[in-house]
Amino acid sequence: MARKLMEYILNEEWTPDVGGRVEPVPKPRIIQASEVKRVDMSEGNVIFVKDGGNTTKQASGLGWAAEEREDRVSIDCRTTDAHGGAEALRGVRDPETWELEAYGGILGEVERILDRYRKGAAEYCIVEGFEIDDTSESRGFGRYRADVNVRLYRGPQNLTPPPSGEG
């Protein structure tokens, strides 16, 4: 559910031009990682939306009749020199101050979308983009990649039926 929700949000909320951005960020192909084995990077930039690991459940409520849940999703962003390289991934730097543009590049647009949904989406009360892991250095010349790891929290939900078997 969380993976499909993130895929939907990225597809619906992607905006190439926003205030403070120097270069537009064209929408990359957004793909469920489980749907493909290989992707031809010559066709453009790609985002894979992947399951980010184990779902964590924690008992909650009087008599543990409810649970809180944390789901994880990984947003794997990829580009090559042929499609803008490091600037396509991270954004453009100001030549005088060397500061990155606001919400620049693919990572900036993903961050902007996650910031917009920080207070929740669907059944999740908090959506948190908590870590960006740029692995470009280990990918080889001309290839750029970063993972945005996202946590989606769902507040206490009553279990149905209750764990005591009453109901």
For the domain 2-158, what is the CATH code? 3.30.2000.30
Contacts of residue 36, defined as CB under 8 A and 6 or more positions apart, other chains included, come to none
| Highest-confidence segment of 15-19, 60-64, 67-71 | 15-19
Element (H, E) at 9: helix 2-13
Element (H, E) at 66: strand 66-80
Element (H, E) at 50: strand 46-51
Element (H, E) at 127: strand 126-134
Instruction: Give the gyration radius of the chain's Cα atoms.
Output: 19
Helices 105-116 and 2-13: angle between axes, nearest 10 degrees: 110
Q: Look up tokens 């409810």; give the residue.
A: 66
Structure confidence at residue 162 (pLDDT): 60
> DSSP secondary structure string, 134-162?
E-GGGS-TTEEEEEEEEEEEEEEEE-SS-
Length of the chain equals 167
Q: How confident is the model at residue 165 (pLDDT cuts 50, 70, 90)?
A: low
Contacts of residue 86, defined as CB under 8 A and 6 or more positions apart, other chains included, come to 136, 144
Buried b (16+ CB within 10 A) or exposed e, 106-124: bbbbbbbbbeebeeebeeb
pLDDT at residue 149 is higher than 90: yes
Angle at 135 between CA 131 and CA 141, to 5 degrees: 155
Longest dimension (CA), the chain: 68
| Highest-confidence segment of 53-62, 81-90, 102-111, 128-137 | 102-111
pLDDT at residue 167 is higher than 80: no
